[in-house]
Structure 1
Amino acid sequence: MSAKSNPTIAIFGATGGCANATLVHSLLAGYDVRALARTPSKLTSQLLAQGLTQPILDQHLTILQGDATNVDDVKRTLVSNGKLVSFIISGLGGKPVLQKSLRRPVTLDNPGICSSSTEVLLNALRAAYDEKPSTAAIKPLLAYVSTTGISNGPEDVPFGFQFLYHVLLAIPHEDKRKMDRTLKSHMAQPEESERLLRGVVGVRASLLTGGIDYKGGKGWRTLRVGTEERPAVGYTVPRSDVGEWIFEELVKNDGGEWVGKIATLTS
């Protein structure tokens, strides 16, 4: 695929490890990316520190300052020169915060960030279509990063981590569940015209390791990959490998075989 035919990508949560790695691989491959960031200078510094050059950023990356829970900011990210992006990646998530509770010791600095930003994304798409109906001719595909431990199918967390996931991390994981339910409900609408997205892919990763370094893992091909129905069960997975998998399997293949499915990733 030539750089000219590459789809334009919108990324939310680009300063986080998984989405950041996807962003780096996309830029290196010549994709045009629009990223929403509360502090654009932070994202720029992260990318330059990983070896990307300023000319690459100038040519292929547009950073918009704003908040993923603001409809106008999200709509600005999704639409450029009257055209809608064709691929959306969400790697949003809160930072863990300890609280005084024996049963729920871990919460988030923003406990509803995933579910609320998902609602905002759908509202922003609706507003974009209302403003210019022709943009709905080709709707975008959404890939979002979630977590194991929230499945409605077989257990996808190893026994040694089940107390951590199902008890200690119950509050953060409830936010992920709400996000899942919102997107599943939206895509289950019988009329295609009522759906704001042409498809959704959920990426449920094991406990994430590593920081901001797109070369920090063992490579996406080393991952064990399953589905919600037949999950790949493991303890941890590098953020960089998850981000690379999203680029290789989803971005490059326009979702490929994963559209409408949930992938489970682990090392």
Structure 2
Amino acid sequence: MTITSTQHIAFFGATGGCTNACLVHTLNAGFHATALARTPSKLVDMLHAQGISQDVMDAQLTIFKGDISDIHAIKDTLTNHVAGTTGAVTLASQIISGIGGTPQMQMSLRRPVTIDNPEICATATKNIIQALQEIYKTQPSTALHKPSIAVISTTGVSDVKEDVPFAFRILYHVVLADPHKDKKEMESLVTENSGTTFRGAVIVRPSLLTGDQSVKGSGRQGWEKLRVGREEEPAVGYTVHRADVGQWIFEEVVKTGGEGRFGQRITLTN
């Protein structure tokens, strides 16, 4: 399926680097989008800095104020009316979620790094699932057009095959164990609900993220040059640029509809 510009994509975590870059490409390509943001002005400023005009935002983007704990705001983001449409509620065709926490140091030799909300990824996913299930219950016709979901996870959480270079294994498996536990729970929830709550799911596992969201910034390799693997045969590398990951998600998931990637855990690295 090819997504058309009259459908809309729901973004969660759009002030984060990878997701913000994906949103920029989505708007530049003429798609409609909704986004949930705790501070809408921050997202607007980030998009302006990326060259997205106010006219484009007014025509193609609706930002809802709230956080991922607000089921009502999540529902608004998932069911917003798209510009140019009338009548029944329009359910998002795709969900892009890059929700994550802020790393924090703690006094622990075994777990020196945690995040400000150590269960934020799992909680966000549970709430998106709950919001969709409530929408399906109150508006049964929407269940005929369930959205797909793409989530940004990380390497280092696979139970199938090692996807982290030897030099990074202590960092990933010891230092970052708490944040990665949250990512694994998120992945499990997405997988369990794929085909039921979600039309399909794609899990993206980038290597250690570098750079910012700027789609024209320095340090990028280019999304076409990224090494792409799957869980059974991962692409093992050290780092990858946030903006490249965001563009890869746009090109391979948003623009195409993502069906060819459903069920995959994709590793991305330079």
What is the CA–CA distance in structure 2 between the aligned matches of 1:143 and 1:123, rounded to whole Å? 17
- Assess if the C-alpha contact under 8 Å between 1:249 and 1:256 holds in 2: no
Q: How far is 1:5 from its partner?
A: 4.3
The 3-state SS of whatever aligns with 1:212 is coil
What is the CA–CA distance in structure 2 between the aligned matches of 1:252 and 1:118, rounded to whole Å? 23
2:17 is the alignment partner of 1:17: yes
Q: How many matched pairs?
A: 261
Residues 16-62 of structure 1: per-residue CA shift (max 9 Å, x gap): 00000000000000000000000000000001011111111111111
What is the CA–CA distance in structure 1 between the aligned matches of 2:3 and 2:120, rounded to whole Å? 33
Q: How far is 1:256 from its partner?
A: 3.7
2:184 is the alignment partner of 1:181: no
What is the CA–CA distance in structure 2 between the aligned matches of 1:4 and 1:222, rounded to whole Å? 26
- Assess if the C-alpha contact under 8 Å between 1:20 and 1:214 holds in 2: no
Q: How far is 1:2 from its partner?
A: 9.8
Tell me the TM-score normalized by structure 1. Answer: 0.95
What is the CA–CA distance in structure 2 between the aligned matches of 1:17 and 1:31, rounded to whole Å? 19
What is the CA–CA distance in structure 2 between the aligned matches of 1:199 and 1:231, rounded to whole Å? 21
Alignment of 1:53-64 (within 5 A): 53-64=53-64
- Assess if the C-alpha contact under 8 Å between 1:10 and 1:35 holds in 2: yes
- Assess if the C-alpha contact under 8 Å between 2:3 and 2:256 holds in 1: no
In structure 2, the partner of 1:260 is: 263
What is the CA–CA distance in structure 2 between the aligned matches of 1:123 and 1:186, rounded to whole Å? 11
The 3-state SS of whatever aligns with 2:153 is strand
**Matched-pair identity in %:** 54
In structure 2, the partner of 1:80 is: 80
Structure 2: 5+ residue stretches without partners:
82-88
Residues 172-230 of structure 1: per-residue CA shift (max 9 Å, x gap): 0000011111122223xxxx5xx111100000000000113122322100100000010
Say which of 226, 229, 244 aligns to 2:229: 226
Structure 1: 5+ residue stretches without partners:
none
- Assess if the C-alpha contact under 8 Å between 1:141 and 1:200 holds in 2: yes
Q: State the one-letter code of the partner of 2:77.
A: T
- Assess if the C-alpha contact under 8 Å between 2:208 and 2:240 holds in 1: yes
Tell me the TM-score normalized by structure 2. Answer: 0.94
Residues 78-102 of structure 1: per-residue CA shift (max 9 Å, x gap): 0024110100000000010000111
